[in-house]
Amino acid sequence: MKRLPRLPAALLRGIAAGLSPGGARAALLVLSFHRVLADRDPMLPDEPDAARFAAQLDAIADLFRIVDLADAVARLGNGTLPPRCAAITFDDGYANNCEIAAPLLGARGMTATFFITTGFLDGSTMWNDIVIESLRVAPQSLDLRQPGLGLWPLPDWQARREAVDRLLGSLKYLDPDERLRQARCIAAAAGWQPTTRPMMLPRDIRRLASMGMAIGAHTVTHPILGRLPDAAARREIVDGKETLESLLGAPVRSFAYPNGRPNQDYARRHVEMVRNAGFEVGVSTGWGACTPNCDPFQVPRVAPWGRNALRLGLGLLRAQTQRHPDQVA
């Protein structure tokens, strides 16, 4: 992905400024990532490698001012946000955020907010990655009939990727303990054993903060909050914040709802839990731009896409036109 030529870049910047002129008519675009890989990975086709992420950052910088998320939401609310602002976020707390993404951001003078799932700061593996890595090493026929998940032919990468999508979809909304049990059954059937450290350690969180990056909370175990009893949901929200604040010795201002779909993954009561926990900002996966009338505890986000800089830019501009993303009432 190359940088935009001068004329298209100037044209698209003009469109972005028209869509977000700043002040009372400003709109904030919040970009969502999860990982940045050292190299392309057929099991993670939607995740950029380092070269692609660097090119994405350069293309984004052609169009937008990159700003701190919490500060930008506050300025959006008081009518002082400059034109063409965007914020960058990462979810979950993968080690490659610290090792690969943050240095690429820092080299460009950019900041981002990293939302951390604190229950995996011991270097352990999230349930979804247990499934992904198990399917990576599984034999060409994977027998999951014992846990009630069927028989899976896996002749090539496409079949393995499709199996991942279907299995994650089947397990995502289970009770967290049952979800993890099923993931471990898949690992046992596939013969997978962890060999790498996919998630950050506490020292990585401190390193990110020392680089000028913002740290946000993303619960303890990444549950679907809407599937938990209220007391358990509140503990996930509060305990994650307290763990990070203890590590950093500083307030944690922002929260990301796991999975993040309004009215499906979280409800109004969870928004109030986030507010009452002392956060200043909450982000969802509602699609579109955040305007001054958006709920600051339900800030929408978009995932950058497009195989070249022009398509990426056009896609982000189209996302800016989506001004009424889904929010819980």
- Structure confidence by residue, pLDDT tens digits, 127-170: 999 999 999 999 999 999 998 999 999 999 999 999 999 999 99
Q: Which of 76, 59, 200, 57 lies closest to 126, judged by CA? A: 200
- Structure confidence by residue, pLDDT tens digits, 275-287: 999 999 999 999 9
What percent of the chain is helix, strand and coil (3-state, nearest 5)? Answer: 45, 15, 40
CA angle 48, 49, 51 (to 5 degrees): 110
Structure tokens at 204: 């990585």
**CATH superfamily placement of domain 6-122+199-320:** Glycoside hydrolase/deacetylase (3.20.20.370)
φ/ψ of 138, rounded to 5, equals -65, 155
- Structure confidence by residue, pLDDT tens digits, 234-244: 999 999 999 99
Q: How confident is the model at residue 8 (pLDDT cuts 50, 70, 90)?
A: confident
- Structure confidence by residue, pLDDT tens digits, 52-109: 999 999 999 999 999 999 999 999 999 999 999 999 999 999 999 999 999 999 999 9
Which 8-state DSSP code applies to residue 279?
A: -
**Dihedral sign from CA coordinates of 113, 118, 122, 124:** negative
- Structure confidence by residue, pLDDT tens digits, 199-232: 999 999 999 999 999 999 999 999 999 999 999 9
The answer to whether the beta carbons of residues 246 and 282 sit under 8 Å apart is no
Q: Which helix (H) or strand (E) holds 135?
A: helix 127-137
Alpha carbon distance, N-terminus to C-terminus of the chain: 40
Spatial distance between the Cα atoms of 319 and 12, rounded to a whole number of angstroms: 13
pTM exceeds 0.85 for this model: yes
Q: Which helix (H) or strand (E) holds 151?
A: strand 150-153
Residues of the chain within CATH 3.20.20.370 domain(s) are 6-122+199-320
Q: Which helix (H) or strand (E) holds 57?
A: helix 50-63
Spatial distance between the Cα atoms of 48 and 131, rounded to a whole number of angstroms: 20
5 has a pLDDT exceeding 90: no
